[in-house]
Structures are given as C-alpha cells and as structure tokens.
Amino acid sequence: MVLVFALVITMSSSVMAQEKYEVAYIARAQGDSFAAWLANSIVNEAENYENINVEVFDGQGSDSKQNSLIENAITNEYDLIIIQPNNGEAQRPYAEQVVEAGIELITTNARIEGIEGGSSVDADPYAQAAVVAERAVEQVPENANVVVLTGPPGNFHSSERRKAWEAEFFEKRPDVTIVGEQIANWNKDEAMRYMEDWVIANDRIDAIISMNDNMAAGALEVVKDDPKFNDILAYGVDGTAEACLLIKDGLMTATTMQSAYALADKLLWASDLLLRDEVIEIHTNIGNPVVDQSNVDKYIEMHEEAGNL
C-alpha cells in the first residue's frame, strides 16, 4: 500500500465537533456494476462519520455530463468533491478548477495524476491486471485464440491494465492470437454485442481477457449455453458480486479483488482528515488479491455480509 501525507495540521476537538461538511461524490456511471457498488459503499461508510454528509451524482458514462456535475458542485460550494473519472484527461481541467476554487479534491478509481493540491485514493491498475495475467500464462492453452475488452480511452485503469496484459501475458505467449479487441467502455451490454460478432466470426475462442468484470460477464453471457465454449477461460478485475458467483459456478476463471468497501473506507478516512485540516494532501492505494475457485467462498461471504448479494 502506498501512503503519502503532506503537512500535518491539528485542530482542537471543540472546533472539530462543531464542523459539518458537505461532500459531492461524482460517480463515473451508475449503470456500471463496480461504479454502483462503490457509490453505495461510500454512502454506507459515510454513516460512520457524523461530521460528513455525502451526496452522489451520476456521470452516466459521459465526459460532458461529468464535467458539468463538477462545475455545479464547485458553484454550490461543497466542502470536498470526490471524482471517479470517466476519462481522467477529460476531467483533469475541471478537477484542477476544484482545487483553484479552494475546495478539497479527491480523485479515485482511477486517480488523476499530477494535480497539485489534490488527493487520491485508488489501486494500482497495472498490478491488478498483472496478477491475473501471470495466471493466464500457465492456464491459456497453446496457440489459443483470445478476445480483449478494454475500458474508455484515456482512462488510467483501462490503459494500465492493458499494458500489464501486454507485458505479462502477450509478450510471454507469442503463440496466442487476438481475434478481436474492442473498447466496451466498462459496459456489459457493449461487451455482449462485440462478443456476438466474435462468436460468428470465429469457430474457436479460448479465452476472454477483460479489463473489468462487467465486460467479462457480458461476454460470458453470450456463450454460456453454447457447448463449443464450455472450456472458455475468462479474466477480469474488480471482484464484483456477479464475478464471484461466476467463478463459483466455474464460468469465470479469475479476477482481482478491487474492493469497493476498502476504497470507501479509505475515501471517508481521507475525507475526514482533509476536511478537518489534519493534512493538506493524501495519496493511498488499496491491495489487489486474486480471486479464483480456491478462495472465492470468502469473497462471496463478504458480499453477502455487506448486503451485496
């Protein structure tokens, strides 16, 4: 875990008790299963902080919508704005406006690097993909045909995960052929449409390599009743409840747990410190354990206890 603090400033407990803070959380897209999981987790975690009220806004997977929401949050003078970018570079100038307005800023899932005065809570996307790509090196059959699903262009998590698959899998397995690769924008329905085309064009697809679980689940939905694809492998990232159930049922091979609960815990912890002027900047990462059939039961239990299943 990476943890960076800057300039610690303490306040008296009497001042802390008096302050109530309004936080705007601007989600990437509530139609994305992970984004919805994270938004719900943040709202639930905020209940543990009497001094913080969180309001969630849905960016609907649109840069223009999300940028407008950021501008509105600045105008409405929230004390802190948390942004889950749709496209980090598209949101960068608006995130910079948050800091310029004197409002605390946290970027998350994925962080926007290099915003002076801004904080971040995230995971290491390269490592998230690398740990499952390393498994795939041994599991994917020789001379395999694979398909690849990526997130939005400009998204830090999508690009870094794709880099990891290139370095940790494709460069080590030159026998593998990519028979289809498309940007599905983290979206299950888009992934289904691409997979439908790939199934028509290819008699054999040995593995689905996806930059998140939602797209992997969409691709698997297309082939679940086709005996030609009984042995297809599928890899993702996020550890969503749906992905864990697919792994339990033997339909998905492995994913990396990007725990929305852990992110929410860190986000509210960081928000509290920033709002109380305990620190002026925080950057921290959560871990990235692999989920497969050997350990999926404990993650299903985690989702059940949190009411996510």
pLDDT score for 184: 97
In a domain, 293, yes or no: no
- Residue 265 CA to residue 276 CA, distance in Å, equals 17
Range of the domain at 227: 125-256
Are residues 269 and 151 part of one domain?
no
pLDDT score for 130: 98
Q: Which two tokens stand for residue 198?
A: 């790939």
End-to-end distance of the chain based on CA atoms, in angstroms?
A: 28
pLDDT score for 57: 98
Gyration radius of the chain over CA positions: 20
**Residue 18 backbone zone (phi > 0: left; psi -120 to 50: alpha; other: beta):** alpha
Closest-CA residue to 229 (of 249, 194, 256, 202):
202
- Residue 66 CA to residue 62 CA, distance in Å, equals 6
- What beta strand segments (E) does the chain contain? 3-6, 21-27, 52-58, 80-83, 104-108, 119-123, 145-150, 177-183, 207-210, 233-235, 255-256, 281-286, 290-291
The Cβ of residue 80 has, within 10 Å, a number of other Cβ atoms equal to 23
DSSP letter string, 137-196: HHHSPTT-EEEEEE--TT-HHHHHHHHHHIIIIITT-TT-EEEEEEE-TT-HHHHHHHHH
Kindly compute the dihedral angle of the four CA atoms of residues 110, 234, 302, 124, in this order, to the nearest 10 degrees.
-30
Are residues 177 and 212 part of one domain?
yes
In a domain, 201, yes or no: yes
In a domain, 300, yes or no: no
Q: Is 237 helix (H, G, I), strand (E, B) or coil?
A: coil
Are residues 108 and 149 part of one domain?
no
Are residues 108 and 64 part of one domain?
yes
Residue 19 has pLDDT above 90, yes or no: no
Q: Which residues contact 172 (CB under 8 A, 6 or more apart)?
A: 137
Residue 17 has pLDDT above 70, yes or no: no
Q: Is 211 helix (H, G, I), strand (E, B) or coil?
A: coil
pTM check: above 0.95? no
Count, in order, helices (H) and strands (E) of the chain.
11, 13
**Per-residue pLDDT tens digits for 102-126:** 999 999 998 999 999 999 999 999 9
Cβ atoms of 101 and 45 within 8 Å: the answer is no
pLDDT band at 31 (very low <50, low <70, confident <90, very high): confident
Are residues 249 and 103 part of one domain?
no
Q: How many domains does the chain have?
A: 2
pLDDT score for 306: 79
Are residues 278 and 196 part of one domain?
no
**Residue 280 backbone zone (phi > 0: left; psi -120 to 50: alpha; other: beta):** alpha
Q: In degrees, to the nearest 5, what angle opens at C-alpha 213 toward C-alphas 266 and 128?
A: 55
Are residues 207 and 189 part of one domain?
yes
Are residues 130 and 93 part of one domain?
no
pLDDT score for 7: 41
Residue 193 has pLDDT above 90, yes or no: yes
Residue 32 has pLDDT above 50, yes or no: yes
CATH of the domain at 66: 3.40.50.2300
Exposed, middle or buried, 262 (CB in 10 Å: 0-12/13-18/19+)?
middle
Average pLDDT, the chain: 93
- Residue 257 CA to residue 31 CA, distance in Å, equals 20
pLDDT band at 11 (very low <50, low <70, confident <90, very high): very low
